[in-house]
Structures are given as structure tokens and as C-alpha cells.
Amino acid sequence: MTTANQSLKPITTQINDDNHIEIGGCDLVELAQQYGTPLYVYDEKTIRTIAQQYKSAFSKYPKVSMLYASKAFMTKAVVRILDEEGFGFDMVSGGEIYTASTAGADMKKCLFNGNNKSYDELQMAVELGVGLISVDNFLELTLLNEVAKSNNKTVDILLRVTPGIECHTHEYIQTGHLDSKFGFDLTQTDEAVELIIDEYKNLNLVGLHAHIGSQIFETTIYYDEVDVLLKEMGRIKTKYGLNLTHINLGGGLGIKYTESDYPPSIDEIADKIITSIHDNAPKYNVELPEIHIEPGRSIIGTSGVTLYTVGSSKQVPNGKKYVAVDGGMADNPRPSLYQAVYTAEVANRPDDKATETVTIAGRFCESGDILIKDVKMPELKEGDILCFYNTGAYGYSMSSNYNRVLKPAAVLVNNSQSDIIINRESYENLVACDVIPERLKK
């Protein structure tokens, strides 16, 4: 069955009677006029549909926890939507923990992850009752035990391990191979387990955690990941008598950025994971574990688009034609950082025929600030509204104030209604944390 992560556009996308692109029943040209550009637009129906498709795909397995990978895009509104859909949250900072807590998430269903958590962040997680903490290294074992002891609590933990599985994706977003900054190498797990048993009495080890990368188009690596984790659980059970009951498989399922992308469906990866559990749990003499799945990009990426207004253009003699928009690498660093490729359409005249090849450039003072290279488009004019698809993940969450440009607003659309979920920054916001020392004041 096709699932929404395999779609190039939000599922409510259509062309209306004015020949404008419409999402969630809202005309994108009117949204640009009302809220300004750049503008992030999120389709609530797509978010909820993909969340429900994840739950449906794994429904044949009795013990599943769905955790939204907050790093992809997190606001209080997104927390509310996914909390309503029964998701917990995979969080990697105090800021994400605070956002989830203040938005009313069930903290017992959440997990705190990350490779260099601070003492204060661990303290916040324990005080707010985060259900699981995925421990990444030996220092964290020491810090977390101190925090748990000082709070007179026992904390349930996972050990994050590097399973030695390398997926075919960009090297910066591979996390499961052996040469990685994340997690314990499998040769280190004995030392970690022994410390927990012998010294860290306020830590309760319940399972293992691995993450093999992002924007994954393969399926067999999920089968292999389960195999590696269950084998390690069986070895720990035999050697130490510990019956671990949880495996966290991370997320990483790819989405469709261009017509040439063919990501697997959610059902395909669910089948691989569930089949591997049933094949390998008996082989390694472990009980069927509770599994945690951490989708982020595959839920929020397809759900979001970014709107830009076309500005200046430049025709290089005997060379490229550059068309500039009013955003770029500060609101979407992925093309510069990962060489990511996107699909764009002219929101105010989507039916116009593509007649020229252009390079869409950002407004920032870097030659590398290019959003799409050498793309066929209709002849673009000043004031046109461009819609970039599949920008819902890692746009706002990785955005910056480079060149002291204000961060864009974000709106949620549903049933012909639009609501602000992030206000556009003001110049007052921009300088609010600046301080002039007394000796420099006039």
C-alpha cells in the first residue's frame, strides 16, 4: 500500500479555480499575501494521516511505542497534534523536553536521547518524569546515576549502541556504522552493563537503542538492525541474567523530494521489522520485545512546504540564469549542507509550461546559497510565489539568523483555515538577547 511519505506533495494539494496551488483548502498565494514570505506551511491532515499510517502498519505487533523525532520540527502545536495521535516524543535537548512538557505531552511516553547531555538537562528529564533515557556513553552513565540518586529515583534506561550497519545515504546522516560519534561500540557494552549492575544502583537497564541513519530507501537494513540488537540482548541475558525487554530502532525512513525518489512505504519497513523479530527472538532465546519507532522526517517532511517570493534575476553571458528569492540557506540549509535536491512550482500559475532552465538562488551573502540548480521552470517574474515541496523537516529546526535576517513564520492549514504556529521574528526579537557593556554605551 502506498503511504504518504511516498508522495511529493501534501495529500490535500490541488489547483483551485484561480489556477493557484491550494493546500489544506488554503490558497498559497493568499497565504503569502496574508503572512508574508518566506513562509513555512504545514498541512495538518498530512501529519495526522502519516501518523495513523505508522500506527496501522505496526498494528499487527502487540507491543509498539511510537516516538516522534522532535529534531525534525517541533512546536507546541505539532506536539499537540501528535500527542492526540498517541505518539510520544524522542527528544535530544532541554529545549525539546521543555517544549513537550509545556505543550502537555505525556512525559512518561517520551525518551531523552543525545550524545552529550548536560547535567542540567538530565536533571530536567528526571524531574519532569521522562519515561526513558537512552544513555550514549560512560560519562552519561555516571552523571545520570548521580542525578537519579539525588532525586531519590530509579531511572529506566536504554543503552545506545552502534550496530555496525551502514546505510546508503549522505555520510553526515549515517549514525549506525562503527565510526560514529553516537553510542557504545558493541565491544563496550559489557563494561557498561557491569557498571550498571555493580555501581549504578539508580539505573535500571531495560533495553537497547540503535539508529542507522536518515533518508533511508533500503528495507533489509531494518531486518538486520533487529537481528543485531536481539543477538546482543540474548548474549547479555546469557552472560548476566538480564532479561532486556525493549529495543529502540530509531527512524530514518526516506521521503520523496523529487520524482526520481522512490522511498519504501511504512508498511514495507514494518513488515521487515516484525518479520525479523519473529525470526530472531526465538533464535537468541529472548522474549518478544517492546519496539520503539522514531519517525521524524517521514511524518513532518511531506507535510510541509515553503513559500518564497521571486525577486531579482541575472543572466550570465553564455552561462546560467540565476533567479533570486527572499529566503535561502538561513531558512533551509539542507541544499548547502547535504546537497539536498528539492522540487518547486510557481504557486500563482502552476499550469504554465516550463520554458527555461534556471538556478534558484537565495538572498544570503554566500556563493553556495543555492536552493535548486539547473531546474526547468516557467519564465519567472518578480513577485511570483514559489512553492518548495517536502521542506517540513529540518528547515525551521536548522534555521539561523545569518546576515541578521529574521526567521520566517509558520502556519498550520486544515479545512480551509490557517493558523499561526510560529510568529515571524521581529527586529525587536532579533536584538532581545544582545547586551551592550556599560563601558561601550554612549
Complete DSSP assignment for 202-218: TEEEEEEE----SSB--
Given a contact cutoff of 8 angstroms between Cβ atoms, the answer to whether 420 and 409 are in contact is: yes
Cα dihedral 390→312→35→346 (10° resolution): -50
Helix, coil or strand: residue 124 = helix
Q: In what order do the strands lie in the sheet with 21-23?
A: 14-15, 21-23, 26-27
Give the cell for residue 283.
533464535
At 331, the amino acid letter reads D
Specify the DSSP class assigned to residue 332: -
Reduced to 3 DSSP states, what percent helix, strand and coil does the chain have, rounded to the nearest 5? 35, 25, 45
Active site residues: 365
At 339, the amino acid letter reads Q
Distances in Å between the Cα of 396 and the Cα atoms of 102, 147, 329 are 20, 32, 11
Other beta carbons less than 10 A from residue 108's beta carbon: 11
Complete DSSP assignment for 269-283: HHHHHHHHHHHHTTT
- List the one residue out of 115, 400, 58, 59 whose CA is nearest residue 253: 58
Given a contact cutoff of 8 angstroms between Cβ atoms, the answer to whether 79 and 104 are in contact is: yes
Distances in Å between the Cα of 379 and the Cα atoms of 178, 237, 274, 346, 357 are 48, 65, 50, 10, 9
Residues contacting 231, CB < 8 A, separation 6+: 280, 284
